[in-house]
Amino acid sequence: MTKSDEPNIEAKSRYNRIAPIYDLLEFPMEKLLAQEWRQRVWSRVESPVVLEVGVGTGKNIPYYPERSKITAVDLSVKMLKKAQARAGEEKEGKKLSLLQMDVQKLDFPENTFDTTVATFVFCSVSDPIQGLREINRVTKSEGEVLLLEHVRPDSWFLGNAFDLLNPVSVRLIGVNINRKTVKNVRAAGLEIKRVSNLTRGNIVKMITAKPGT
Ligand SMILES: C[S@@+](CC[C@H](N)C(=O)[O-])C[C@H]1O[C@@H](n2cnc3c(N)ncnc32)[C@H](O)[C@@H]1O
């Protein structure tokens, strides 16, 4: 094990630990807001070969387009087990493979997927730019990357408040609340096509990007 593996092991064991109660913790947010956001993201996906990274407990599975073949990966085996159970409850007809994999080291050749999707993932990936670089590599050059992420607020006051609270959030639930994900997407070589703000304070964003250099 190298020093750079440590944050991953932490993230993995944290999500393994919270997997049994994850859906319960997220329930109010999911019902009030997130379901609509998920619908918005997945309504854009029509392509045949799709990757979802950080699938978690599979909250996006009900929104998967029926005609697409989806490969969904996550670091945590226990989150994947929940996703497997959810997939089992869904109607037949969805072609889904669930795999344990680190987004920072994706085991796929370059130019494999037409569309890559991640929802609320890059707040917890230990090296988000490396994860986004991997997405850039495995998504076809004419393909699309769709991200739904909460990010550091733009305002001076809220931004600083989130910076102060971030260590607490990381310790409790492994989530960074002050990630500059739009900047990270660019730093990973992806080309931003559109950023839509979904909440007041511009905290939740839908980012549409395409592979770049
Ligand atoms: C906040 S949850 C979001 C889950 C799901 N995407 C959703 O919208 O409900 C973040 C997920 O990212 C996964 N994750 C964190 N780091 C990862 C990594 N390096 N590679 C793959 N998955 C990772 C966690 O195990 C967890 O399931």
pLDDT score recorded for residue 112: 98
Dist. CA 123 → ligand 1 center (Å): 9
Pocket lining: 80 vs ligand 1, CB cutoff 6 Å: no
Name the band, by pLDDT with cuts 50, 70 and 90, for residue 9: confident
Q: What is the pLDDT of residues 159-203, one digit of tens each?
A: 999 999 999 998 888 889 999 999 999 999 999 999 999 998 899
pLDDT score recorded for residue 131: 98
Two tokens at 49? Answer: 């070969």
Q: How many domains is the chain built from?
A: 1
Dist. CA 121 → ligand 1 center (Å): 5
Pocket lining: 54 vs ligand 1, CB cutoff 6 Å: yes
Phi/psi class of residue 143: alpha, beta or left (left: φ > 0; alpha: ψ in -120 to 50)?
A: beta
Cβ-Cβ contacts under 8 Å for 102 (sequence gap 6 or more): 8, 75
DSSP 8-state symbol, 205: E
Pocket lining: 37 vs ligand 1, CB cutoff 6 Å: no
Radius of gyration of the chain (CA): 16
- The number of the ligand 1 atom at minimal distance from the alpha carbon of 56 is 27
Q: What is the pLDDT of residues 116-126, one digit of tens each?
A: 999 999 999 99
Report in angstroms the alpha-carbon separations of 150 from 3, 45, 89: 28, 21, 29
What's the per-residue H, E or C state across 33-99?
A: HHHHHHHHHHCCCCCCEEEEECCCCCCCHHHCCCCCEEEEEECCHHHHHHHHHHHHHCCCCCEEEEE
Name the band, by pLDDT with cuts 50, 70 and 90, for residue 8: confident
Residue type, 165: L
The SS3 of residue 24 is helix
Pocket lining: 106 vs ligand 1, CB cutoff 6 Å: no
92 pLDDT more than 80: no
Pocket lining: 176 vs ligand 1, CB cutoff 6 Å: no
Provide the sign of the torsion angle of the four alpha carbons 33, 34, 37, 43, taken in this order: negative
Residue type, 191: E
Supply the range of the domain harboring residue 25: 3-210
Query: 8 versus 66: which is more confidently predicted?
Result: 66
pLDDT score recorded for residue 26: 87
pLDDT score recorded for residue 210: 97
Name the band, by pLDDT with cuts 50, 70 and 90, for residue 6: low
In 141-207, where does DSSP find H-type helix? 156-173, 181-187
Residue with the smallest CA separation from ligand 1 atom 5 is 56
Cβ-Cβ contacts under 8 Å for 156 (sequence gap 6 or more): none
Helix, strand, coil % (nearest 5) of the chain?
45, 25, 30
- Kindly report the pTM of this predicted structure: 0.94
Pocket lining: 149 vs ligand 1, CB cutoff 6 Å: no
Mean pLDDT of the chain: 92
Supply the CATH number for residue 65's domain: 3.40.50.150
